[in-house]
Amino acid sequence: MGNNIDIDIQISQDAIIFTEKMDELVRCVIEKTFEHEKVSPLDVSVVITDDEEIQRLNKEFRGKDAPTNVLSFPMYDEDGALDDEVLGDIVISLERAKIQADEYGHSLERELAFLTVHSMLHLFGYDHETGKEDEKEMFSKQEEILSLLGLERK
């Protein structure tokens, strides 16, 4: 995109190989989501982890003692406004993504892209858990962005 966006991807699991192709895909999805939402790119941190670690985080931050697929942590400044340099952190369980990809009958890459878009939209403030209209809007945007990347649902 040409903007000075810093996408920091850290791997904190070794159950599933996180390939260079997956790394490039996550970066591309993040950039495409900024572009689609017409938001100036901000720094984003992505942690690729396993079910055990994401369950620990889910329990600590959401009070849910179960693994989940993705968590989003928006960055706020001291005034409670979204930070103007760092959008936030994304934590994805690659283990959970693989299970879901198998369940849905599509590739791990497609599931990884979906979870990245989903989390990015949460960082932008969208929330599918606040009502049917909000859910419809967020899910529609997810599919639009995935379609732009050639990753529409089969």
Buried b (16+ CB within 10 A) or exposed e, 55-79: bebbeeeeeeeebbbbbbbebeeee
The verdict on residue 87 lying in a domain is yes
Domain that holds residue 143: 7-94+107-148
| 76 neighbors 82 (Cβ within 8 angstroms) | yes
CATH number of 35's domain? 3.40.390.30
- Domain count for the chain: 1
Pairing outcome for strands 86-93 and 70-74: antiparallel
| 54 neighbors 96 (Cβ within 8 angstroms) | yes
Determine the pLDDT at residue 5.
Answer: 83
Helix axes 108-123, 20-36, angle to 10 degrees: 40
The verdict on residue 113 lying in a domain is yes
Closest CA to 25 of 3, 9, 38: 9
The verdict on residue 154 lying in a domain is no
Q: How many other CB atoms are found less than 10 A from the CB of residue 98? A: 15
Determine the pLDDT at residue 1.
Answer: 41
- Three-state DSSP class for 44? strand
The verdict on residue 123 lying in a domain is yes
Mean of the per-residue pLDDT values of the chain: 91
Q: How many other CB atoms are found less than 10 A from the CB of residue 152? A: 11
Determine the pLDDT at residue 127.
Answer: 83
- Spans in the chain with pLDDT lower than 50: 1-2
The verdict on residue 102 lying in a domain is no
- Three-state DSSP class for 84? coil
